[in-house]
Amino acid sequence: MTDRTLRGKVAIVGIGETTYYKHGQSPDSEFKLALQAVVNACEDAGISPHDVDGFASYGNDRSDAPRLASALGTKDFRFSNMFWGGGGGGVCGAVGNAAAAVATGMADCVVAFRSLAQGQYARYGRSQASTAVTGDDAFLAPYGLMSPAQRFAMKVTRFMHDHGIRQDALRAISLACYHHAQNNPNAVMKGRPLDAAKYDASRWIIEPFFHLYDCCQENDGAAAVIVVPAERAKDFKGKPTYLLACGQGSDHRSAAPVHNMPNYPSSHFNQLAPRMYEMAKLGPSDMGIVQCYENFTGGVLMSLVEHGLVKAEEANEVLTPENLFVESGKMPLNTSGGNLAECYMHGLELVIEAVRQIRGTAINQVKRNDAAIVIGGPMVTPVSSLILGSEATL
């Protein structure tokens, strides 16, 4: 019987980004940004944009795949896919869906991409004005529970209470991201360093996200990665990065309405993570590169625990700046700055940074760079994660 796995079947051979901007400041349309990112990824791979034959995205991306195919001059449009759910829960799932298409022969060269121009459309991080509310909102809005920060803070508050985790752990996550962004020329927060005093003095948002710097940015830009069959991986310009595993989905009834899921204080990776490690034939201790989606620092805390990278009872001791900084840490975190300080490109910049680390071309290069874990947006349904590796991990 054929082994049902993606392990070692495909490789990422091209990565591309645009300039990243503060929300509303891009001079280009969302569609043009998407085109630029795809063209940049093709250039990185050493191929023509005409050779792309499939498209995968997530977060209800508005850059329509058929329109992209026409604009890029795609010669044979074979695959298109959208991962269900809003925000960044699907970032790794979109890459995984591209990989599945390539591994099964549905396409040969698929780009996974994300594009955002919030000045052209609406901002993500605030509640939307409406004359009527339906669904979950009908039960939440009357009590003032409307914005993403408010909704996620409920779950994180319970998790921190249950495990005795202090605010210091959230501060350390934020400091690490801003620290790494200072060396990254494409980071929106480059030149705006953060220290503990500035973090503590920043304005209150909502408990336990007491501070502005616990919350992700809102940005414009685009990012893309090129996925091809593993047997062709060395035909391209750069060092290939192999997909070892992808997991997507969520826990039992994690999408139950009105905050009524059975496992409430969860980022929804409890069932996904073991399946992913099993496919990769690796464990948490093998991950030298950790890129974890930060819509809010509390989501990082919960995601790291549910992927076995930190024990909840040890979070106060493990999640410190010294342990998360690339220069000194046992678990360097979000080495390009992540959503907090590089760009909130709904997490695809984290995948790109993982590829750079495995290639050995990252600005904040880690010492152990054979295997990387990328954790997608937490506390939504569905969620997704990836494990990537060098040729040595196959």
Active-site choice (20, 21, 178, 293): 293
Distances (CA, A) of 74 to 40, 51, 107, 112: 16, 6, 12, 15
Q: 157-181 burial by CB neighbour count: b if 16+ within 10 A, else e?
A: bebbeebebebebbbbbbbbbbbbb
**293 is an active site residue:** yes
371-375/289-292 β-pairing: parallel
What's the burial of 146, exposed, middle or buried (CB within 10 Å: 0-12/13-18/19+)? middle
Q: How many CA atoms lie within 13 A of 288 on its CB side?
A: 14
330 CB neighbour count, 10 Å cutoff: 9
Please, are residues 77 and 69 in contact by the beta-carbon 8 Å criterion? Answer: yes
Residues whose CB falls within 8 Å of the CB of residue 311, separated by 6 or more in sequence, listed in order = 305, 318
Encoded amino acid at 376, one letter: G
Task: List, as one string, the DSSP characters of 262-304.
Answer: SS-S--S-TTHHHHHHHHHT--GGG-SEEEE--SBHHHHHHHH
Which strand (E) or helix (H) includes residue 114? strand 110-116
What gap in Å lies between CA 284 and CA 307, rounded to an integer?
7
Q: What are phi and psi of 28, to 5 degrees?
A: -110, 155
Residue 206 CB contacts under 8 Å (≥ 6 apart), including other chains:
149, 150, 153
Residue 291 β-bridge partners? 374
**297: how many CB neighbours lie within 10 A of its CB?**
27
Tokens of 345: 């490109």
Active site residues: 293, 344
